[in-house]
Copies of this chain bind each other. A is one copy, B any other.
């Protein structure tokens, strides 16, 4: 089962990378783009029978390695296609 994990900094945690991207965009004429937040996208296959099971494994993997749950939140999704 394919799984998509979105890892984001928690609200309130300063996103330095996001600020840098925002600044860079403004310098290129994209002043209409704001509130930039940069996170990670992790996609993988889980060898199991159902998406529910895959989601459970992915959640455990996030807690163990993929996300730093002190400062980051994660969201597990079934990819569109």
A interface, CB within 8 angstroms of B: 6-8, 21-22, 24-25, 28, 30, 32-48, 57-58, 60-61, 64-66
A60 to B33, CA, bound (A): 11
Copies of the chain in the assembly: 2
Contacts A7-B41, A41-B41, A66-B21: A48 and B32 contacting too (C-beta < 8 A)? yes
Tell me which residues across on chain B come within 8 A of A36, comparing CB atoms: 42-44
Q: Which 3 A-B pairs have the closest CB atoms?
A: A39-B41, A32-B47, A36-B44
A61 to B33, CA, bound (A): 9
Question: Judging by beta carbons under 8 Å apart, are B22 and A65 in contact?
Answer: no
* A28 and chain B: residue at smallest CB distance: B64
